[in-house]
Structure 1
């Protein structure tokens, strides 16, 4: 609290001449603790904090004089799981400072590790055949993991004759689509070659265009 006759900086919050009302604030002129924190710990810094509580798909972290927040999307480079499966209330962890989010210091865990997508994109391309391990199975398909840590989706419609796959199985698949830093789509079906289509057209009298339409319908 300021002492009597002490000079202080204040901010005018409300001024009403008719009511002879003037509301001032000393607090509003003081440095914001989260802004001071980010000055001492700029983006990219590594800091330690204690997980305090969960808030929907995020966790609130105690950083001392300020609070930090980490969202599910910043937990790992792979498919983000539940925050509760990665962090535990009361545990101390090291985090990367990502910036400010309101009064919170935005934090991340995956930023402490190398982005596996960078390694993946250097090594693989659409059309490559690989043998991968199944890490999870769902009604819509299965997720298979590459050695670099990136997961690819094998949709149910692309499973072909291996509908009974289970976690732990190794499956030979072909990469049919890559969306960088987002998703990889796989197929276990046999690849249809252009020469096979032409050959079929020559024997049956169908044109190449008619055969393609026929195969799409099938």
Structure 2
């Protein structure tokens, strides 16, 4: 076509016109297209190929591609065109619909930049670092090229501002899972869990997308000073559901209730007549409580502490004292253990009292006493 005819045909177009074109040549910094239904060529500068920064034109298009374009400038023999503007116009409509519906969609991470991630949705979408995951991520370098789910959290076409969040999707899924788990829980259930976090009052255990609290008193049958003495973060544990508060989304759990009880098989561990090592735990007016196994205390009644009469257990025992005891009786069902210290002590010889006399003199003395009484009566 002559230059004169090109000039005539070019004048048929105005800035803003939409045209279709086929890529005929891809250069480093621009693309040549043939305008459909004409023999006119158009030029797409590299800056008008994509909403994202690209190093070379071949990153965005290839020869033979059919493109929808907008006229940016009418020159003497060619049209300066934009693919980016057409893509953006279509994209804004689609994105506004997604935003209004709160839709979740997938997109590929095109680039990792300072402060977050970049996504190409026909327009440049930005994912701030704080909105990538529900947990802290130190290095985002391996996110480039990944396809993940997003929701639009901010959209302003006039300012060309599009903010995306993957974290919102994750938290929404976690919320649904949490509700599902909450609805399925019942007191008495025994579940597998993972210790997530330890505090001074207990441990939070993940039981499938939701955390429940194991209070320090429910960690062990033994007294626990610090939860970290008993469990560690990441530890797999079995827990029993104690209660579920749906309104406040609180779950109370117990590790202790999944463990063998200290009184289990106590009849075998402490049969009647057996001798055990124990520690004095508490002294009361009627006796002493002796711990013979972790979590198992038995009572030594005051009458079973010593052969001699004592007023209070404090006279012969003190808390923390270690000693041996004999099992007098065991009741596994009622968690009762009767113990004796006295039966393991040698009986002391009875001391003679002042008024006791030798056998041979008892009769004589008795006669004298009777005689004296008779004399008094006869006077």
Superposition TM-score, scaled by structure 1 size: 0.51
Matched, 1:178 2:331: yes
2:224 counterpart of 1:74:
no
2:299 to 154, 157, 160: 154
- From the superposition, tell whether residues 34 and 107 of structure 1 become closer, same or farther in structure 2 (CA, over 3 Å): farther
Match of 1:119 in 2: 265
* Structure 1: gaps spanning 5 or more residues: 8-26, 191-218
Taking a change above 3 Å as real, the CA distance of residues 38 and 134 of structure 1, as seen in their structure-2 partners, is: farther
Flag the 1:114–1:152 CA change in 2: closer, same or farther, 3 A.
same
**Structure 2 counterpart of 1:101:** 244
1:31 is aligned to 176
Cα deviation, residue 33, structure 1? 1.0
Q: Relative contact order: is structure 1 or structure 2 higher (C-alpha 8 Å, sep ≥ 6)?
A: 1
Q: Distance in 1 between matches of 2:203 and 2:200?
A: 6
| Partner secondary structure for residue 274 of structure 2 | strand
Partner of 1:145: 292
Is 1:60–1:67's contact at 8 Å kept on the other side of the alignment? Answer: no
1:152 match: secondary structure: strand
TM (norm. structure 2) is 0.32
Distance in 1 (CA, whole Å) between partners of 2:301 and 2:228 is 29
How far residue 81 of structure 1 moved from its aligned partner, in angstroms, is 1.6
Distance of aligned partners of 1:97 and 1:181 in 2 relative to their CA distance in 1, 3 Å threshold: farther
Hey, what does 1:3 align to over in structure 2?
99
Bigger Rg, structure 1 or 2: 2
CA distance in 2, matches of 1:151, 1:66: 34
Q: Which residue is equivalent to 1:169?
A: 323
Q: Which runs of 5+ in 2 are unaligned?
A: 1-97, 104-171, 308-315, 344-379
Q: Are the counterparts in 2 of residues 51 and 60 from structure 1 also a CA contact under 8 Å?
A: yes
Aligned to 2:266, the other structure's residue is in SS state helix
CA distance, structure 2, for counterparts of residue 85 and residue 167 of structure 1: 27
Please tell me whether residue 61 in structure 1 is matched to residue 204 in structure 2: yes
CA contact (8 A) 2:218 2:257 kept: yes
Structure 1 residue 151: deviation in Å? 1.5
Residues 219 and 230 in structure 2, CA contact (< 8 A), matched pair in contact too: no
Q: What's 1:43 paired with? A: 189
